[in-house]
Amino acid sequence: MELKFNIAYVPGTVRYLGLLVFSLLKWSDCSFRLVANACSPQEVRLLRELCHKSTRLELLTAPSKMVMPYGQLLNYLHSLEHSDYFCFLDSDILAAGDFVSEMLPYLERYAAVFSASPIWCAEEPPIVPADSARIPGGLSKTSDGLCIGNTCFAIYDNRVLIPFLQTTDVTFQLYQWPDIPGPYQSQLLSMGLKKRAYDNGRVLNILLAGRGNRLVFVDSPSLQHIGGLSGRIAKRKRSGWVKRLRRSIGSRQRQSVAARDEFRPTRAKRAYKAPTALYFNELLRSLFERAPLPPIPDLGDRDIERRIESVATHLVSLYEEFGDQLA
């Protein structure tokens, strides 16, 4: 089975996160499309040079000078995919084993397979609280057990997804309740899933499941997702491109940007997310600059600290094995 995963990069992230691609190549026979989402010419050059390392890598430049909102980018990438499966994963995911073999048993029985919650999440898969007014990113299941997927790691059966998209006007975008077409509001109400806001892909996934299609989250030990690292690495540049994005996009997209603000992590999760992302930013900087490595952060949660330590060990080994292949 041939699978091609899309991996998007925002400005400022290519130098460090390009390293993680080697783990995906090492532990799978998949191909990967590296998507430059408004990256600088220098970063596009780095991605092009990385693609020269393997015939299983290809470069795509997103059709916008500004950073495309992720849901909009997924819509564009899906329009290019005509094979049996549409796949994507976050740029801060590394492989530590044969993750494809873990997914294969599910691909013929489910319309979509999801995995790779961030390592700072306390539960697997993370569950949307019943009283939550929104469905944020990273949460993959409702409190009554319905899988609603995520945009961290996804494999969609295109033979199901394409007809669904052709017969609805729902896409991968962010949604706030007033923006959802009336008939679908009724369906969400009947499912007990009326929310103020929904992160990328959640309305699509819920309605896909509502049509009788089965979705599944697979807890894969072979996929290690740092979570939030792109934002941390790109922090210095991010404020600039977000301001330019808000000036340049139309009113509907401005609503998308406003909706994105709905999806900040809860206070408890933010307490783990920020120091985890900061630590890995410092770890990668130290590896690339051959500086002393930072200590594992003290989060007061030994289980999450062990996960961080495991990912750090894999990253160090990955750099030792492939670091000299990076420009």
Which tens digits make up the pLDDT trace of 296-318?
999 999 999 999 999 999 999 99
CATH of the domain at 134: 3.90.550
Q: Residue 261's pLDDT is what?
A: 44
pLDDT higher for 75 or 241?
75
Q: What is the domain count for the chain?
A: 1
- Contact by Cβ (8 Å): 10, 40: no
Which amino acid, 190? S
pLDDT of 235 reads 67
294 burial (CB, 10 Å; 0-12 / 13-18 / 19+) is: middle
Residue 121 has pLDDT above 90, yes or no: no
Residue 69, domain extent: 1-327
Please report the pLDDT score of residue 267 as a whole number. 42
- Enter the pTM of the model: 0.89
pLDDT at 262: 47
pLDDT at position 60 is 98
What's the CA gap between 22 and 325, in Å, rounded?
10
Query: Over the stretch 253-285, which tens digit does the pLDDT of each residue have?
Result: 444 444 444 444 444 455 788 999 999 999 999
On the question of pLDDT at 206 being above 50, the answer is yes
